[in-house]
Amino acid sequence: MENQMGKWKWPMIRRCVGILACAFGALFFTAGCAPTRDGHDLKALGLAYQLKELKEPRPNRAHVLRVDLTNRRIRPAVVIGEDPDGDGPAETALTDPRKLASDRSTIAFVNTNPWDSFPDNTGRRNRRWFEGQPVDIHGLAVSGGQVRSHGQPGSASVLVNGQGRVFLGDGPGDSPVEAMAGFGQIVSKGAVIVPAGGAVHPRTAIGVDRSGNAMWMVVVDGRQERYSEGMNLHELGSLMLGLGCWNATNMDGGGSSIMGLVGEDGQLH
């Protein structure tokens, strides 16, 4: 959610790139390789990172990771925190994304699904977030073919099929092996579909090109005056379109926005 601090859900890719967010995230892992971050070559794995330092309409720093989904040495996956109550109402518990991305085969990650706490008997929700807090995941969340949270009206799903291809909306063929959801689609069929203006926040977005062979994971820093102040949804959509996205979705943002990437020292930063 837009104002949360320090917790995330995520998707991920192995030998690995990944995505993370409050209790749930996506990552990329190296496939069929020993779980190590040593001696990695991001370019050989189909990954390209870029820091875009923008001046207009306000200062912003956008972290951009392009992933070649045709590279068979990596695979996308979703990681979800533990279910704290089994068949109870909670779908996961807030977890530091660095813990979700601690597998040595993780190369990169970003946050994904929004979430919220549960109301008490007066209808009030505790939004003073803490690690281990039971929460409800908003939108579709699937990890390893297991559905943790079902899709909801108005959310925008990001789906991964058995071949590692990524689709936004309804993917063709079988049920997704991995899936996550955001607040809504911001680019559709090569056009920005959100109006200009609106609130400025830190942002996370995921997009794909028209062929479905390339994916972008983007995090825009925010709430840092004169350094990186954040974007509205139209600006975020325009950024994704300019990168080459045919479709793109706005994921959870605000204090949840995070990207991790393995550096030359073999550590996630």
Whether 16 has a pLDDT exceeding 70, the answer reads no
Q: Give the pLDDT confidence of 142-192 residue by residue, as tens digits.
A: 999 999 999 888 889 999 988 888 999 765 555 889 999 999 999 999 999
Residues in CB range of 153: below 8 A, 6 or more apart: none
217 inside domain: yes
Counted domains in the chain:
1
Question: Average pLDDT in the 213-230 region?
Answer: 97
192 inside domain: yes
1 inside domain: no
The residue that leads in pLDDT, 127 or 235, is: 235
Specify the amino acid at residue 139. G
Q: Which of 4-18, 33-47, 77-91 has the lowest mean pLDDT?
A: 4-18
Domain that holds residue 216: 9-33+48-116+132-261
60 inside domain: yes
268 inside domain: no
Q: What pLDDT does residue 40 have?
A: 64
Specify the amino acid at residue 257. S
Whether 20 has a pLDDT exceeding 80, the answer reads no
Question: Average pLDDT in the 119-141 region?
Answer: 87
257 inside domain: yes
Q: Which of 98-107, 112-121, 136-145, 166-175 has the lowest mean pLDDT?
A: 166-175
Q: SS3 of 35, please?
A: coil
Whether 231 has a pLDDT exceeding 90, the answer reads yes
Residues in CB range of 243: below 8 A, 6 or more apart: 64, 66, 207, 216, 218
The residue count of the chain comes to 269
Question: Average pLDDT in the 64-91 region?
Answer: 91
